[in-house]
Amino acid sequence: MIAFEHVGKRYGGRFEALAHLNFRVARGEMVFLTGHSGAGKSSLLRLVMRLEKPSRGRVVVAGHDIAQLHASQVPFYRRQIGVVFQDHQLLFDRSIFHNVSLPLEIQGVEPREAARRVRAALDKVGLLHREKALPIELSGGEQQRVGIARAVVNKPALLLADEPTGNLDPQLSADIMALFEDFNRIGTTVMIASHDLALIAQLRHRILRLSDGRLVADEGAA
């Protein structure tokens, strides 16, 4: 599903965020990406999202070198990836329902169908009863679950998450991770950047460990 081939990323010509990355993630796999802050986890995810292009090497997603995508094709590429952000990236002037339906709106899904799928996604994260609320009325854990609902509402084949449990207590974090495992179980490829080592150790999935932009360990590969 994802293949990094000799990938390097420099910012501003000097700072080397990533270097000599080589790994593959199979379709349907669930992978944790870990390492101290500044190790390059976010940079790696940004490359997969095609927010940036690698300075060296190739990032291949589903058989295509995504650096080759024309700027006008990038939106269509991004629609196929669900992304959960640490700071949720919710729109605070819209209800939970409208936040979650945003990807469907962008894709032009027919409103009745969209409503059905938004409710299904909200139901999955246990927030169906809050659909009319504004994000500000929700707790941090609930906001994160809204972010997850938005990421999965168009049933992406690939789900990325950047520190999804960053500000949550252990119990909420475990709930969130369980949600990701559910999505993985129905065939979604999941890649989660997290430095919550205790939590990911319990979950027994593959772990890619980054340090100073290099891959230093690849544990528990299937």
Partner 1 sequence: MKSSATPRRQQGAALKTPRKAAAKPLADKPSQRGARSQQTRFSSRLRAWGRHHRSMAWDSFQRLVRYPLGNLLTMLAIAIALVLPAALWLTLDSARLLDAELDESATLTVYLELSTDAAQAQRIEEAVNAEQSVLETRLISAEQGMAEFQQSLGLDNALAGLESNPLPISIVVHPSSIEPVAMQQLAATLEAFSGVDEVRLDLAWVERLRNLAELGRRVALALGALFGLGVLLVVGNTIRLSVESRRREIEVVMLIGATHAFVRRPFLYSGAWYGVGGGLLALGLLGLGNHWLSLPVAALAASYGASFSLPQLDVTGSTILLSCSTLLGWLGAWLAVTRHLSSIRPK
Interaction site with partner 1 (CB under 8 A) = 1, 27, 49, 51, 61-64, 66, 69-70, 72-73, 75-81, 83, 85, 89-91, 93, 102-103, 105-111, 113, 117, 150, 154-158
Q: Are strands 158-162 and 81-84 parallel, antiparallel or unpaired?
A: parallel
Shorter beta-carbon distance to partner 1: residue 10 or 155: 155
Per the listing, tokens 């700027």 go with: 71
The minimum distance between CB 217 and partner 1, in angstroms, equals 27
Shorter beta-carbon distance to partner 1: residue 46 or 130: 46
Per the listing, tokens 């009863």 go with: 129
| 48 and 77 Cβ atoms separated by less than 8 Å | no
Shorter beta-carbon distance to partner 1: residue 59 or 200: 59
The minimum distance between CB 199 and partner 1, in angstroms, equals 26
Shorter beta-carbon distance to partner 1: residue 79 or 195: 79
The minimum distance between CB 80 and partner 1, in angstroms, equals 5
Question: What is the sign, positive or negative, of the torsion defined by CA atoms of 45, 177, 34, 22?
Answer: negative
The minimum distance between CB 156 and partner 1, in angstroms, equals 7
d(C-alpha 149, C-alpha 103), whole Å:
11
| 10 and 3 Cβ atoms separated by less than 8 Å | no
The minimum distance between CB 36 and partner 1, in angstroms, equals 21
**What's the number of CA atoms in the CB half-sphere (13 Å) around residue 8?**
10
In sequence order, the 6+-apart residues with CB closer than 8 A to the CB of 118 are 97, 100, 101, 104, 131, 149, 153
The minimum distance between CB 215 and partner 1, in angstroms, equals 23
Largest CA distance in the chain: 51
Shorter beta-carbon distance to partner 1: residue 125 or 200: 125
Shorter beta-carbon distance to partner 1: residue 24 or 219: 24
The minimum distance between CB 5 and partner 1, in angstroms, equals 17
Shorter beta-carbon distance to partner 1: residue 22 or 107: 107
